[in-house]
Structure 1
């Protein structure tokens, strides 16, 4: 029976490992998950309920078995006392006791009579012949104390004993004990109990498995909602809506509430983008005029004092910086509204890199170097937008590198892709910041603010590269520099 139980448990374990997603590939459900808590709760309830039923059934069966023999023994004790009383009228009391105890119905049991002093008056001899002296002695010791009907295991056999006062003609002579061998009945009872144990275990496991599968299926709409919400970004608020088919009413209500929240967020995000676009557009023109007047005053102001000239130069530089910021905001606003157009064409990247290097030399003091290019490499992109991307990356590398450190441009073609890299040996970017470096207005630390960055350059780079069907990657190590790589389709 034990071997069969082990085999069944092994098969069930394999079945569970095959059908449960949390058991596959080493995935363990976290204790805080709803699926884990529900499964654990059902498991505990199943074990307690089925185990309780099995235990109660076993105890009840044992009680019925003992009670049946108890009542039988009690009836026999009454019958024994009655017959002794009847025979006592015709013969001596001792002879009457011996005559009754030798009857066939009493020969099937072990019968003892003890007087009030505890000494044995008489005992049956028929059944006694079938047991060994040691067992007989143990049974005698077993009946030395007041008894309640119960089962005893003596010499690998099961016995039920019962005792009570022995009355004859309304006179108490001592105590009468009857012991019955119930080995056959109790063995059958134990076999039934032992068969209930694996059935209970199997039923518990089966109930847990079925419940876990049902819980998993019931929670699938929530998992689907979680997967859908993970893919929603700020730019996709107006496009994504949670649509669940055949979901419970509570989950459908939750999905509808999330959709309403997405509507409000989308409206708020659109208003924010529209506000940024309008403000950038309205401020760019007056600031351009202000910058023009400041530069004109600086060129013609021969009688300006040094403090006045310094103040005007600071104002002109800040005006120029603010205009660049507004221009970046307008670029992003156009991209958000889908108004950023690209003229995708095939062209030779060699000439573009040479042109970018010449343009960068004007603000880099000759620090930009172009690595030798092997052959003519054709790329499919917007030439002007790609030029803007590379200049932004070079400007970013210059700001966060030491003045004497070079900036290197590299290009290679591989697997129908063109890889354009801007390499510096600057301060580098810590790993915890690399995943957010392309977010708008994000800066690693205050050093970037002092360097004059607005936090929009890399965001614009990412927007332009993705608009041309490519992607941009970053490889950086603090203290060793950074490598920004633009990957575009080859022509």
Structure 2
């Protein structure tokens, strides 16, 4: 019963894998199963053939012995009795149950003598006797639903041919027993094949389980986990353990390379930000103090100052990301009243952007966050909402509480984000529309920083958007208190 349950488990597993014919498990199972079926079938066929030959040999030896003895007995009895009486006497002496014997004249028209078995057991006597030629050596024939061993031979007395003797041994019962045994053997082989296939499938699945575990572990490793990631397979074969060890070495090299890249970005951002900040300061100072610049010179200096400012902000973003990746960003988590932070940022945005900012406090709640990091996150989101929506469209900020978590939503009625881009907008340097982002001053790092800071505080961020209808960014933040 347990084996049957395992079989159903294997079938369900195969269905879940959608019969992946290219998988190693499927190929090994099919190939070994085919070899098992071929081997068991060969054994079954050979056994059946051997049993058939044994049955034929047993009965044909008996008939052959009688056929060899028959002429000598006829010759012996013909010296003491008339011919037909001697033939009948011989037939009576050599007859055995299930064996029919009859003797015909040389012209084949007259039956000189026959056994009682011929009439009592063989209803097909006429059919048997109508056979013109029987084998000179005993052989098995099927006649209707019966199996017979047939034989014919000459009967001679003192060198004179008296006629031909015919013998028919009924082996139907033995043949049916043989067929039943063969059918039983086939059933046993079928069951053995099924159980063998199940055992093979389970064994292969168990043998390949370390590879599946390895695949799942490798798929769950992220860039942040490279330094800590390590594959440990205790019960795996030595080949898989060697593969896991090689994989661990590769992860170690990747971790080192990733750390070098982070360090390089951090160093470059830090080293370039300072001189560019100085350059930007000088450019802005020249623009403020110089009154003798012509229009062309002033435009050139303004362009240089704008690009320097954009580059400084880009380097600052890269530095923030590098610090977050290197775990150098420290979060001062404390209970914060979200309504106060949101209201403060809404007032500030209305003053500097002249945009209408609506604040809706559905549930006043305390969130466990870093106040400064939260402000940075909301400023980025509100800034995006302002950039990618029309001037007369309001920005809405919603504070709510659901499932023991604090919720902040930043909603706009702007251009929206295509569905195929919504899953990638939090990637670094990814921009939905390069031309639009360039004109708005974006460089594809703002939302990446937002996601990094939110997750660093133990929260999450999602987006829901439709083209030409706007976007809704939802922050889910941890909280230890019920709504106020």
Could you say if the C-alpha distance between residues 143 and 237 of structure 1 is closer, same or farther in structure 2, counting changes exceeding 3 Å? farther
> Which one is further off, 100-109 or 450-459?
100-109
460, 473, 476: which is aligned to 2:465? 476
28, 33, 38: which is aligned to 2:23? 33
> Which one is further off, 299-308 or 467-476?
299-308
Structure 2 unmatched ranges of 5 or more: none
Q: What is the correspondence of 1:322-401 to structure 2 with a 5 Å cutoff? A: 322-361=311-350, 364-367=353-356, 369-374=357-362, 376-401=364-389
Q: Kindly state the Cα deviation for residue 89 of structure 1 after the two structures are TM-superposed.
A: 6.3
Q: Kindly state the Cα deviation for residue 326 of structure 1 after the two structures are TM-superposed.
A: 0.5
The TM-score with structure 2 as length reference comes to: 0.89
2:7 aligned residue: 16
Contact 2:148 2:169 in 1 (8 A): yes
The reply to whether residue 209 of structure 1 matches residue 205 of structure 2 is no
SS class of match (2:228)? coil
- Count of aligned positions: 479
Contact 2:134 2:151 in 1 (8 A): no
Q: Kindly state the Cα deviation for residue 432 of structure 1 after the two structures are TM-superposed.
A: 3.2
Deviations 1:323-370 (A, max 9, x none): 111001100111111110112122222221122123323564414x22
Contact 1:237 1:262 in 2 (8 A): yes
SS class of match (1:372)? strand
SS class of match (1:314)? helix
Could you say if the C-alpha distance between residues 438 and 166 of structure 1 is closer, same or farther in structure 2, counting changes exceeding 3 Å? farther
CA distance in 1: counterparts of 2:412 and 2:390, whole angstroms:
10
395, 399, 408: which is aligned to 1:420? 408
1:460 aligned residue: 449
2:280 aligned residue: 291
2:64 aligned residue: 74
Contact 1:70 1:162 in 2 (8 A): no
The TM-score with structure 1 as length reference comes to: 0.88
CA distance in 2: counterparts of 1:66 and 1:251, whole angstroms:
56
Contact 1:107 1:124 in 2 (8 A): no
Contact 2:102 2:115 in 1 (8 A): no
Q: Kindly state the Cα deviation for residue 105 of structure 1 after the two structures are TM-superposed.
A: 2.7
Q: Kindly state the Cα deviation for residue 469 of structure 1 after the two structures are TM-superposed.
A: 1.4
Q: What is the correspondence of 1:8-407 to structure 2 with a 5 Å cutoff? A: 13-18=4-9, 22=13, 28-86=18-76, 96-105=86-95, 109-113=99-103, 119=109, 122=112, 124-131=114-121, 133=123, 135-141=124-130, 144=133, 146=135, 149-154=138-143, 156-163=145-152, 176-361=165-350, 364-367=353-356, 369-374=357-362, 376-407=364-395
Could you say if the C-alpha distance between residues 115 and 251 of structure 1 is closer, same or farther in structure 2, counting changes exceeding 3 Å? farther
Q: Kindly state the Cα deviation for residue 191 of structure 1 after the two structures are TM-superposed.
A: 2.8
> Which one is further off, 67-76 or 443-452?
443-452
Q: Kindly state the Cα deviation for residue 166 of structure 1 after the two structures are TM-superposed.
A: 5.9
Deviations 1:376-424 (A, max 9, x none): 4322211111111011112223333344433221111223311111112
Q: Kindly state the Cα deviation for residue 110 of structure 1 after the two structures are TM-superposed.
A: 1.9
Contact 1:107 1:125 in 2 (8 A): no
Q: Kindly state the Cα deviation for residue 55 of structure 1 after the two structures are TM-superposed.
A: 2.1
CA distance in 1: counterparts of 2:83 and 2:138, whole angstroms:
28
CA distance in 1: counterparts of 2:277 and 2:223, whole angstroms:
31
Contact 1:472 1:487 in 2 (8 A): yes
